[in-house]
Amino acid sequence: MASSLTWSLFLASLLFLFTLPSPTLSSDVVSSSGNTNAESSVRDLCRSTPYPAACLDSLKLSVSITINPSVLSLALRTLQAAISEAAKLSSVLSSAGRPGAVVESQRSSLQDCQELHQITVASLRRSAGLVKPEARKLADARAYLAAALTNRATCLEGLAGARGPLKATLVDSWLAAYAHVSNSLSLVARSGGRKGRRLSSARPFRSRGGGGFPAWVGRRERRLLQDGDYGDVDPGSVVTVAADGTGNFTTLGEAVAWAPSNSDDRTIILVRAGVYEEHVDIPSDKTNIVLIGDGSDVTVIRGNRSVGDGWTTFRSATVAVSGEGFLARDITFQNVAGPRKGQAVALRVNADLVALYRCVMDGYQDTLYVHSFRQFYRECDVYGTVDFIFGNAAVVLQAGKIVAKMPIPGQSNVITAQSKDDPNEDTGISIQNCTIVASPELASSNVIVKTFLGRPWKNYSTTVYMESYIGGLVDPAGWKEWSGDQGLDTLYYGEYMNSGPGSPTDNRVTWPGFLVMDYDDAYSFTVSEFIYGDEWLESTSFPYDDGI
């Protein structure tokens, strides 16, 4: 649980939000008493949102006062309602922390809700400043609002088995507050921007990487990021973690705690060779942290939390990243709970503009939790069994290796479980130029284990495989149901120009949501289009391919 001081500060910030004036409506918003066409227009817009009653309530619409709105003006009003409801929810969350108010069935489920709600409040504030008729600003606003909705889902999943006198009130408060968030996303999506845009096939392919450093990267840091040559670096220019005591810290947790909060500059943490048995939390106020290992074969961060041992999936992560701008290279993130312990996350990322290079995520079920926001993985290897790449981020995995391991007897392997549950979210899993193979143990086994490319965790699950080598381990059907026909007509599963014995699509599922993509379909899931990578990956020095 957060300390009482932390929560006092948090509540104070929310009270400040609660007292903010309503956003000024744009010049095309006019009040009148007889404009029935305008009133009808507003009602029609609200009817098109996921929660029409909440939409009308947020606009305070009555028979005597009608509005001739722009869609963005309505989006601002619903955002203000979301911020107000967030303030009320914070009070309920504070009360829920009292002994006996909410009795958890899984450890840390209430802590998950508190942490995620803090991130949501920050996202709502940032979104309110981005609801403007500019494509990039609107794309950012959608990213923040989609992350907020993912936070709602994660909290409610963790509370599903909880009990206590305040549980019903807490759940109702979450639903009320986040109904306005969902409406805001719906209205922002209607206002245009990138969503649905297709670029001409004449756009050239480009491969980036290596040289494009921003001004804040000094000469020594450039060498660190580009070459991994740490030999003659001044000890004062970076922080070193070494298990043998030769660095500034012996644990990564200590180094993260030392790092400055809310920094606009990057903090470089060298993690020397060794196995670090710890669970590391990089909270949302620890921004722009860079972890550089001595190599993924020698720098290993290892944990063993699992749902089987009572943790929530969210809290089971060996390394959990909530701080925006996180970068990592040449490190292994590992969860060794084993295949029988259920969900056991090696790396969880719920932070925006995160990139990893030459890293390994190793586990069994739920290895890599791409929870929310925008993420990029280059030349990274992911090992697992069931749903081992999952979540609701907008994420591109490029030029890496995806390795299916031996599951428990009778279990099938499923590579992805994408959890998009709102059609207006710009989220999904894009796997490009990767290699999908079996682990040596699985490949040499006489046991038949079916392996699938993915299954729909939520109704609008979105996953694509492009230009990848798909090994013979993948079942000819390609994809697997989650539960009956859930999401089969609303999901988006695509394949484009893949190769290998598991790539033929002749015997793939015949669901309405599955398609063999054309060039324009595929281009929508590239680095430049899907995560706006051209605008932020240059500063990482990590290589990336921006097109098909």
- Residues involved in catalysis: 387
Whether 403 and 438 have beta carbons less than 8 Å apart is answered as yes
Question: Please, is 321 exposed, middle or buried when counting C-beta atoms within 10 Å of its C-beta (0-12, 13-18, 19+)?
Answer: buried
For residue 317, give the DSSP letter: -
Phi then psi for residue 127, to 5 deg, are -65, -40
In terms of Cα–Cα distance, which of 64, 113, 112 is closest to 90? 113
Among 390, 474, 470, smallest CA distance to 435 is for 470
Alpha-carbon distance of 339 to 304, in angstroms, equals 11
Tokens of 11: 């509540």
Tokens in use for 459? Answer: 């109704």
Contacts of residues 514-522 at CB distance under 8 Å and 24 or more positions apart, as own/partner, are: 514/478, 514/479, 517/464, 517/466, 519/201, 519/548, 520/198, 520/199, 520/201, 521/494, 521/496, 522/464, 522/466, 522/494, 522/496, 522/497, 522/548
Please, is 518 exposed, middle or buried when counting C-beta atoms within 10 Å of its C-beta (0-12, 13-18, 19+)? Answer: exposed
- Please report which helix (H) or strand (E) contains residue 367, including its range: none
DSSP string, 450-461: -EEEE--SSTT-
